[in-house]
Structure 1
Amino acid sequence: MKEEDKSKLIEVFKGSLWEAQLVKSLLGNNDIESTLKDGMVVNVVLPDTAIDVAVLVNEANYETAMEVVRAYEKKEEGD
């Protein structure tokens, strides 16, 4: 993400590393840039399930990103 956008990042999802990476990919498929918070620490120090990882998006993309996240969560609940 662009340097000037970092002050406007908002969390849209928190979960295991693999779930966060999946959500990040889904957001990317919808042309929404995102970043992971705490992902590097989890990768290097702890197993994938040890700490939740947050997915952050620019404030301007929040509503659209939440639609993607809600659709993912609804599908997960249905399985």
Structure 2
Amino acid sequence: MGSSDKLPLVEVFFGSPWEAELVRGLLESVGIQAALKNYNMGYMAITMLTEVPTGGGVAVLVSADDYDMATEIIANRENVE
């Protein structure tokens, strides 16, 4: 399988690092492979210079094939007991 055969990764969640880690764990617990993309590093210098929030955070990425199932699981995560 060549690199052109790989499915693109798509963002299914964006939030604080701890929230993103919880969502990634939830998805992986049901068999959906997930990765984290950290947006905080690009904003670190700006944050140190100002007290204005910069909107940095962490995204959870999944395969495009898993997008629908992942978004459904994330949307219903508060209903899980």
One fold, TM greater than 0.5? yes
TM-score, length-scaled by structure 1: 0.69
> Per-residue displacement from partner, 1:43-66 (whole Å, max 9, x unpaired)?
xx69xxx83100000000001101
The 2-side partners of 1:23 and 1:39 are apart by 16
Which residue number corresponds to residue 18 of structure 1?
Answer: 18
Which residue number corresponds to residue 53 of structure 1?
Answer: 58
- Give the CA RMSD over aligned residues: 2.7
TM-score, length-scaled by structure 2: 0.68
Long gaps (5+) in structure 1: none
Judging by fraction of residues, say which structure has more helix: 1
Which residue number corresponds to residue 62 of structure 1?
Answer: 67
Q: How many pairs align? A: 66
The 1-side partners of 2:39 and 2:17 are apart by 7
Retained in 2: the 8 A contact 1:17–1:39? no
Long gaps (5+) in structure 2: 48-54
Q: Highest Rg: 1 or 2?
A: 2
The 1-side partners of 2:30 and 2:40 are apart by 24
The 1-side partners of 2:32 and 2:17 are apart by 19
The 1-side partners of 2:21 and 2:39 are apart by 9
The 2-side partners of 1:57 and 1:21 are apart by 13
